[in-house]
Amino acid sequence: MRIQNMFYDDINREINGVIKVDQDTEGIIEQELSEYVITRELKKHFISFFNYYSDSFDRPTADTGVWISGFFGSGKSHFLKILSYILENKEVNGTKTVERFREKFTDDLATFMLIDKSTQAPTETILFNIDIEGPMEKNKTAVLRVFAKMFYKHLGFYGENLKVAKLEQYVDRRGKTEEFRRVFEEKNGDSWIDSRDVFDFCEDEVVETLMQVLGMSETAARNWFDSSEEIDISIAQLVSEIKEYVDSKPDNYRLLFMIDEVGQYVGADTDMLLNLQSLVEKIGSECMGKVWVMCTGQEALDEIIRTRADEFSRIQARFKTRLSLSSSSADEVIQKRILKKNNESKAYLEDVYDKQKSVMDNLFKFREAVGDIRGFEGPGEFSVNFPFVPYQFILMQKVFSEIRKHGNAGKHLSGGERSMLSGFQEATQRVQDRDEYAIIPFWMFYDTVHTFLDSSIRRVIERAERAARDDKGLEPIDVNVLKLLYMIRYVEDIPANLDNIIIMMAEDIRVDKIDERNKIQKSLDRLIRQNYIARTGDTYNFLTDAEQDVEREIRDEYVDPSEITRKISEMIFGNIYTTKKFRYEKKYDFEFDKKVDGVNYGNPVGGMELEILTIATSVIDKQELRLMTESQNKVLVVLEDTEYYNFIENAMKIDKFARKKNIPQLPKSMQDIIRSKQDDAEHFKEDALVELKEAFMKAKFYINGDRTTVKAGTPQAKIDEALEYLVSNVYNKLDLITKNADSDEDIYKILDGREDDGIMLGLESNRKAATEIETYLIAQNQQHLPTNMADVQKRFTSIPYGWRERDVAAVVARLIYEQKVIVKYGGETIRTDDERLPELLYKRSEIGKTKIQKREMISIQKIKEARDFLRDFFDLMDVPEDDDGLVDFIISKFENLEDHYDELLNKYEGNNYPDKKKIIEAKATVSDLLYAKTDNIALVNKLIDMEDELEDMQEDMESIEDFFKSQVDTFDEATRLESLLRSDLDYLQNESEVNDALNKIRLIVNINPKKDDFDYRDVPKLNDYMKVVREGHNRLLYGKREEILEIVRQCMEEIHRGDKNDRIIGNIIKKTDDFYTQKKKEIAETESLRILDGFIPSLWSEKDQAVKDIISIEKSNAEAERRRNDEEGKQSGENDTVKETEVSPEPEKKKHIKKFYRQSIFPARTLESESDIREYLETIEKNLMTLLGDCDGIEIN
């Protein structure tokens, strides 16, 4: 059956593929109405709109704005136009519009009732595209002006020129429109309607007509004609005129402004948005549901004002009805308007599907495409869509969208001149002569849109067509493949891989996919060779002219093979196998060298080796025998030849090309191309990684001289399996380690014997490993080769041992514990109890400085001699017999003795004890012995050599030890007493016995450090001497305290003579009592005669000041009493007739008082008789009178 005969409607009929709001011929309108498809989505919008619109007849509303949004191809303009037809309810070829929609809503009568209700009211629509009708120069009043233009035009006035329109409106209100037009035509010869667009050239006729019809003077008429054509009009004025117009109509009348592309026209222009907001708000509030404003825009209203929602909140409220259309139902429209089948063909096609189902299921297997890119799901879907495939409806929408984004010319696509409807009709017409097995190849849609593409795109296709026509490297099929690749160039939902290209190129459901694959692959290869397309991974990309130039430059870039090898190494060891050390049996970590094509990756460690051979390695180097020979002590992996090498080379070429370009300085179009290529480079790297993993999965493995089958399921697991096999064959002495040391604590247990508790001799852990190391050290010693722990570690962590560093340390620790080896660090023999020892055996920073050797044992005779001396010297019987025990004993004991001498010497700090020099000498003797402690044999020999010196030292120290045990306290007490009495020597000069005892103390405790003849027998005599001194000194202290206490008593007695009843004097007495009470306490506690004498001046001084203060207060009190008595006498004479004039007392003159110390007034003297006393007092009196002669008073301190 021919495809042309399958359709319900003629496939070749003229269909208006693009809806324009200004197309209003009856033929076009009738076709639009009859063929308008109400999809499921549109039905929802009809319900939403008419629910709200019809409700306004019952409940007037100010929210009369409707916003219809949807991107190109969504049908928003068509929807707006259909609404205008319905609401105005025009009669088209004898049928009302609403009746044409009755059959479209047979399944939803409720909605049709709302539509029918809405069309009962008289309605006028003003339908226009604001982008076409709006002024060329957009300003903040542009929206208002276009509304005014279209409103006046609707009224029959010349809206293009508001000056003319206002004139016509004025004439009309005077009822003289017909007269005006008749008179003008009489004067001009042409009608007013035909001439008003050029009225500037009809000045005389217009002036004369105004004069004749309106009675204007010539001056007034010419002034109007010459006035500015820019007529100011406000929103309020325009809305007032609109309201006046609708108010003149019936109550249920509706006027609808239906404006297409408002969103595109206004955009994000703040002024125009505000203008629209104010206009719609004013129309709503003034007309209350009688005037509606319906707008379309590609973006939803919320998106337009998203960043300034607060500023435009009112516009959202006014456009309360918002309808968002998508193009998701485009397939439904196409199926009903273009592809609707007649009954015969429908059944026929369903039968074809049933017979060819398995073929089609196999054909339409897309790879890596999104889920909705698919073939047919059943006979019904096949019949409805034939000759198209379901994926094409979805894909075409995405293609149109992407073409519009990426090509300037393409921006008109589906936005004005072209639509999917046209594309599908034209594609169908091209195959109308074919049969029921034909399907539309996707490249064919290119021919429906190519005239709207950028010239740079068309040039590429046209050049390819010429090359194919002239047989210059291309064939006709290549052009179609190229068209297809352009169509899906920007669509991410379906990658342009070979499988998908085959499906989209299919022109028959019975196509042989194997044959088609060969043809398409050859076509792709030709296009790549001719630089029309590029390959990224397994996808193919269309290239523009500029992209082809870039692609050519990239191909000409040279990348050194060594750089490619380095990059492969990075990908293998940085992504696929990142293990730095191979873990064996969950406890051994083996380092291994890494190579790719013979080049090291990272620093070699000299252990096992893992080498990868890529495509770059020659076939000769990959011969079986050679590979088996080369794989000794290593794993050789020969990768399968996949595309990874080419992918990496392509990526590196792009990177190298991009580095040469100063991209920011290039034109934006070239920047975009290069950045796209850089994205391709990243894809190449990703694909290379995938291919590398695949190459590993199919690789050949050669291990330690054998070709080995590795069965693991991932590249990493395969390498792990290979290395495990290598370890088990190469490290054949690994099993000598029977117990691992996991921490330093395990090594400490070996060193102090805890690890072997309860284990029979010879059955200790790691016994064979210890024998290996001991044998090695014996050999080193025999060859006189110095050995350190670094040598030991290097040998026993390498092939064939492979022991862990800590395990090597643990084995050496066992040899140390068994006294078979000796370890030295910094020349010092390290003992088993040294906390540093474990780290010195394995820590990399220390092992090079840690010396190790087979141990030389101390002779039995030396051990016996040393033990005998030590028993006598330390008075101990238990002295160790083994080498280490004996050495540890010597070091421990003499270090303790050395510390003891240090403690004794510390006691000399601040003290003058005897024989300090002997202690210093003794400490030096011990230190001399311990100097040899780093060498066991030398230490024992030194001890034996110093036996006599040590015994002499011990004898010298006996008296000193006894002194510090029993005599030092007495010595300290005597020293303190002698020091205390140094200030009281003058008071003791008359106490002969005390003086004699004190001198003897001084002779004992004041030691001459230059002499070493101290007699320790004198120390006990100090007790008797101290007793004599204390008793004599105490007697003097008692007498001195009594003397001073008498002074205290006298002072307090004199102070207490004051008037205790006076508050101030009482406070002074209390204060001095507190002072003298404190002094009494200090006197009783003071042990120095000199200090006691020092109290006396302060006692007298305190008394004198207190007495002085008391006398001053008493004088003041007496004077106050006298004044009170005088005042009372004056008051008694108040009855006298003559009053004496009061005389103000003269201010008291300040007295001149001289101060003298009492020592100068009362010189010290011994008075032995009454005459001596009188003579002393007379002298004092005479001196005082003399001093008083030149002052007003004397103050004695």
Pairwise CA distance, residues 443 & 446, whole Å: 6
Q: How many domains does the chain have?
A: 7
CATH number at residue 118: 3.40.50.300
Helical (H) or strand (E) element with 1108 = helix 1089-1132
Pairwise CA distance, residues 1195 & 1197, whole Å: 6
For the chain, what percentages of helix, strand and coil (3-state, to nearest 5) are there?
A: 60, 10, 30
The answer to whether residues 375 and 506 belong to one domain is yes
- Residue 1124 tokens read as 């009170």
- Residue 599 tokens read as 């080049």
Residue type, 173: R
Query: What are φ and ψ of residue 535, in 5° steps?
Result: -110, 130
The answer to whether residues 123 and 260 belong to one domain is yes
Inside any domain, residue 221: yes
For residue 1114, give its domain range: 946-1121
Pairwise CA distance, residues 550 & 677, whole Å: 9
Burial class (CB in 10 A: 0-12, 13-18, 19+), 117: middle
The answer to whether residues 443 and 529 belong to one domain is yes
Residues paired with 124 in a beta bridge: 255
Given 327, 360, 391, the domain boundary residue is 327
pLDDT given at position 1157: 54
Whose CA is closest to 521, among 504, 506, 545, 502? 502
pLDDT given at position 654: 94
Side-chain half-sphere of 111: how many Cα atoms within 13 Å?
18
Residues paired with 127 in a beta bridge: 258
Q: At what angle do helices 330-337 and 390-406 cross, to 10 degrees?
A: 120
Residue with tokens 């050949």: 700
The answer to whether residues 585 and 710 belong to one domain is yes
Residue 353: Cβ within 10 Å count: 19
User: What predicted TM-score, i.e. pTM, was given to this entire model?
Assistant: 0.52
Inside any domain, residue 70: yes
CA 658, 660, 663, 664 torsion-angle sign = positive
**Cis, bond preceding 122 (omega within 30 deg of 0):** no
Inside any domain, residue 932: no
What's the full length of the chain, in residues?
Answer: 1197
Pairwise CA distance, residues 280 & 63, whole Å: 9
Kindly state the DSSP code that residue 233 receives in the 8-state scheme: -
Whose CA is closest to 20, among 76, 98, 91? 76
The answer to whether residues 460 and 489 belong to one domain is yes
Q: How far is CA 1057 from CA 725, 1068, 1070, 1103, in A?
A: 118, 12, 13, 12
pLDDT given at position 228: 77
Mean pLDDT by groups of 10 residues along the chain of 1197 residues: 92 69 68 83 90 91 89 79 91 87 86 90 94 83 92 93 91 92 92 89 91 91 84 90 94 94 80 87 93 84 54 62 79 86 93 93 92 90 94 87 64 47 89 94 88 81 93 94 93 93 95 94 95 88 87 90 94 93 86 92 86 92 90 92 92 93 86 89 92 94 92 92 91 90 91 69 80 92 92 92 93 90 88 90 93 85 89 89 86 92 90 88 91 84 91 88 88 86 82 86 81 82 88 87 87 82 88 92 89 88 87 86 80 51 50 64 77 85 77 76
Inside any domain, residue 309: yes
The answer to whether residues 254 and 119 belong to one domain is yes
- Residue ranges in 844-990 assigned as alpha helix (H): 844-847, 860-874, 883-907, 916-930, 936-945, 947-962, 968-980, 985-988
Residues paired with 340 in a beta bridge: none
Inside any domain, residue 885: no
Q: Specify whether the CB–CB gap between 644 and 692 falls below 8 A.
A: yes
pLDDT given at position 760: 54
969-986 residues labelled b (16+ CB within 10 A) or e (exposed) = eebeebbebbeebeebee
Query: What are φ and ψ of residue 739, in 5° steps?
Result: -145, 125
The answer to whether residues 523 and 567 belong to one domain is no
586-621 residues labelled b (16+ CB within 10 A) or e (exposed) = eebebebbbbbbeeebeeeeebbbbbbbbbebeeee
The answer to whether residues 323 and 334 belong to one domain is no
Given 179, 203, 228, the domain boundary residue is 228
Residue type, 802: G
Inside any domain, residue 320: yes
The answer to whether residues 603 and 511 belong to one domain is no
pLDDT given at position 1142: 44
Pairwise CA distance, residues 715 & 721, whole Å: 10
Using only C-alpha atoms, the chain has a radius of gyration, in whole angstroms, of: 61
Here the contacts of 755-760 (C-beta below 8 Å, separation 24 or greater) are: none
Given 327, 356, 379, the domain boundary residue is 327
Q: Which regions of 656-810 does DSSP assign to beta strands (E)?
A: 700-703, 706-708
Q: Specify whether the CB–CB gap between 39 and 332 falls below 8 A.
A: yes
Pairwise CA distance, residues 1153 & 509, whole Å: 141
The answer to whether residues 701 and 839 belong to one domain is no
- Residue 63 tokens read as 């929210």
The answer to whether residues 965 and 1103 belong to one domain is yes
Pairwise CA distance, residues 508 & 502, whole Å: 12
Whose CA is closest to 266, among 293, 299, 292? 299
Inside any domain, residue 939: no
The answer to whether residues 643 and 581 belong to one domain is yes
Inside any domain, residue 1000: yes
Residue with tokens 């599907």: 353
- Residue 556 tokens read as 């000409």
Side-chain half-sphere of 243: how many Cα atoms within 13 Å?
16
Here the contacts of 1019-1022 (C-beta below 8 Å, separation 24 or greater) are: 1019/963, 1019/967, 1019/970, 1019/971, 1020/967, 1020/970, 1022/970, 1022/971, 1022/973, 1022/974
